[in-house]
Amino acid sequence: MKIALAQLNYHIGNFEDNTSKIIDSIQSAKDQGADLVVFAELAVCGYPPRDFLEFDEFIELCENAAQQIAAHCKDIACIIGLPIKNTSPAGKDLHNAAYFIADGEVKSVVKKALLPTYDVFDEYRYFEPGMHFECIEFKGRKIALTICEDLWNINDNPLYVSNPMDVLIEQDPDLMINIAASPFSYSHDDERMIVLADNAKKYNLPLLYVNQVGAQTELIFDGGSLAFNKEGLLLDEMPYFEEALRIYTIEGDEIQGYAPKSHQPSSDIEQIYQALILGIKDYFAKSGFKKAVLGLSGGIDSAIVCALACRALGPENVMAVLMPSKYSSDHSIDDALDLVRNFGCKHEVIPIKEAADAFDGMMAAAFDGLPFNLAEENIQARCRGIVVMAMSNKFGYILLNTSNKSECAVGYGTLYGDMCGAIGVIGDVYKTQVYELAQYINKDGMMIPENSIVKPPSAELRPGQKDSDSLPDYDTLDKILFQYIELKKSSAAIIGQGYDEALVRRIIKMVNTAEFKRYQTPPILRVSPKAFGMGRRMPIVGKYLS
């Protein structure tokens, strides 16, 4: 039997495009002699559809699309993921399901049993777990079909009390297939590899795994569909961050034509780079946007965002706005212009001194007798926000936010100023990782100006200002933030690692008191195991750890 894995980029709620893409892949697989073609979890509607699932019409459109797809399954079968109605009056109204389609009709329905409700996942909000498990029979073979999380209950600390494969294995299947929508983080490919290999080994069955690719707002899906033999050895991995279709020949209990290989992952920074490019590209394409605007300061954060945008959208579609204040240094302007020349994007120079002075004059009576402080600094940052939003409104540009994760974590940014934007490009990238990204982008030539990399970071909102005036050095800050945010370590546990107690408590307090700011920032492209946004839900007024 020949089975094709179709690793595609879906668009949530775009039934016409998703259906057309699936039908085209069915035909392509058929032309290459495949007997069965397999698509990802919720492929018909895109993942995650979230509260679209609460609309009856949305579910009806999914079913209509499935019937259109079924009409093309002649002399070839397919597996597609979609939400379906729960026919029982008890429980949630929907199932996260897969259709096995052959001879133009739905032959079998598989319902996802293990519904993740952690980090970015919230499936039990919508779906009722499947409770009955049967193998699919096709061409004299039995296929144990599972949906994403159904294979993830295999570690030392299982989240669920049951395991679909423990039931399916009793039916003597010949092959496991798992369809997934598994979001990217820079460590997730290694975890995925271990979990799937352990399943193949435990059940002594070959395993084919298909993942979707593409970005859905902040979530990025990296593809990397996989094939394992029954010993749990990796045979093949499909490309990452791009669409692909690949056919595997199954004879007996073996996948033919592949020798075991080891997983050779790209570096974390290369994966982050590829994910951010895809995230920007899909955010714009799927939203119907083409042109981006950002404030370009001459610093490393905005330089990285500008570079990524130019490579994702083309430099002709990127507008960099230089907004020097009276405290900006000449070299900052020169560094920004060097970057513009290196990438070839558009640019405007719009000084903010007059605007900031006007606000200072307007507020003079109210501020009479009070020294210059954060209020005046933030006025300048908000002047910049007004400028880039004016460019957005006038020309239809979409504003890219340039705040990094270290700044987002401790609230080092100005609401309605440098924290505004439609999408946070590097808001899940620590400052130390930003420097690594600069090195990666410069690996084939100096594109990010050296001075943007080596000069001390500064917001340039007062004379001689440096980030280090307000923050610990980024190397130490990022290590403590990682322990607290990604690893969820307590202050006592972090202090126990040898960090200064006062520093740790200060940083954790800054993180927690900045929660109200993060509630008002744009969605952030997720590249880490624990990103700000939908995957990290903290109370604003909570006392604990603050």
Boundary residue ending a domain (454, 471, 488): 471
In a domain, 516, yes or no: no
- What residues form the annotated binding site for L-glutamine? 118, 182
CB neighbour list of residue 149: distance below 8 Å, 6 or more residues apart: 112, 114, 115, 116, 121, 123
Same domain, 50 and 101: yes
User: What is the C-alpha separation between 102 and 99, in angstroms, rounded?
Assistant: 10
- What residues form the annotated binding site for ATP? 295-302, 402
pTM for the model? 0.95
Q: Which of 73, 78, 148, 420 is catalytic?
A: 148
- What residues form the annotated binding site for deamido-NAD(+)? 378, 407, 517
Same domain, 125 and 151: yes
Same domain, 246 and 292: no
Q: Which of 30, 41, 230, 420 is catalytic?
A: 41
CB neighbour list of residue 143: distance below 8 Å, 6 or more residues apart: 135, 136, 137, 173, 174, 175, 176, 177
Same domain, 342 and 430: yes
CB 27 within 8 A of CB 243: no
- Where in the sequence is the domain holding 405, given as residue range(s)? 271-471
For the question of residue 479 being annotated catalytic, the response is: no
Here the tokens at position 119 are 């980090």
- What residues form the annotated binding site? 118, 182, 295-302, 378, 402, 407, 517
Same domain, 134 and 247: yes
Boundary residue ending a domain (422, 453, 471): 471
What CA dihedral angle connects 325, 347, 424 and 487, to 10 degrees? -70
Q: What is the pLDDT along the chain (546 residues), one digit of tens a residue?
A: 999 999 999 999 999 999 999 999 999 999 999 999 999 999 999 999 999 999 999 999 999 999 999 999 999 999 999 999 999 999 999 999 999 999 999 999 999 999 999 999 999 999 999 999 999 999 999 999 999 999 999 877 788 988 999 999 999 999 999 999 999 999 999 999 999 999 999 999 999 999 999 999 999 999 999 999 999 999 999 999 999 999 999 998 999 999 999 999 999 999 999 999 999 999 999 999 999 999 999 999 999 999 999 999 999 999 999 999 887 767 889 999 999 999 999 999 999 999 999 999 999 999 999 999 999 999 999 999 999 999 999 999 999 999 999 999 999 999 999 999 999 999 999 999 999 999 999 999 999 999 999 988 776 666 777 777 778 999 999 999 999 999 999 999 999 999 999 999 999 999 999 999 999 999 999 999 999 999 999 999 887 765
Q: Which of 21, 30, 111, 112 is catalytic?
A: 112
For the question of residue 41 being annotated catalytic, the response is: yes
User: What is the C-alpha separation between 114 and 266, in angstroms, rounded?
Assistant: 30
User: What is the C-alpha separation between 517 and 408, in angstroms, rounded?
Assistant: 8
User: What is the C-alpha separation between 518 and 411, in angstroms, rounded?
Assistant: 8
In a domain, 266, yes or no: no
Same domain, 32 and 56: yes
Total domain count, the chain: 2
CATH of the domain at 346: 3.40.50.620
User: What is the C-alpha separation between 512 and 530, in angstroms, rounded?
Assistant: 15
What are the Cα distances from residue 60, in Å, to 66, 126, 448? Answer: 10, 16, 50
Same domain, 281 and 314: yes
For the question of residue 310 being annotated catalytic, the response is: no
Same domain, 114 and 175: yes
> Any idea what DSSP says for residue 504?
H
CATH of the domain at 65: 3.60.110.10
Boundary residue ending a domain (258, 284, 300): 258
